[in-house]
């Protein structure tokens, strides 16, 4: 499990890099708290938006078409 302390951008950028399988620099992202879940954060990156749960999992914050 990855542990991120107090929404440190470098830590979140590393997790997002692992998730996207490409380098993401801390200055490329915008991080804000998620009021719906304690310890969760919204991560804005380019045109995409992600949610990071308290256990370090990152998922897209939009609906995906499943066929």
- Summarize pLDDT for 7-32 with one digit per residue, the tens: 688 888 888 888 878 888 999 888 88
Rounded CA separation 36/29 (Å): 20
d(CA 66, CA 45): 23
- Token digits for 7? 């929404």
Domain count across the chain: 1
The two structure tokens encoding residue 49? 């938006």
* 63 occurs within a structural domain: no
Domain presence at residue 18: yes
Residue 17 belongs to domain spanning: 9-57
Q: What pLDDT does residue 4 have?
A: 53
Q: What is the pLDDT of residues 21-64, one digit of tens each?
A: 888 899 988 888 888 887 788 888 776 777 777 777 887 776 55
CA dist 60 and 16 (Å) reads: 11
């Amino acid at each position: 499990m990855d542990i991120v302390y107090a929404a440190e951008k470098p830590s979140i950028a590393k997790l997002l890099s692992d998730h996207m399988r490409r380098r993401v620099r801390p200055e490329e992202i915008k991080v804000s708290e998620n009021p719906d879940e304690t310890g969760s954060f919204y991560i804005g990156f380019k045109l995409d938006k992600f949610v990071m749960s308290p256990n370090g999992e990152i998922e897209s914050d939009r609906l995906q078409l499943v066929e």
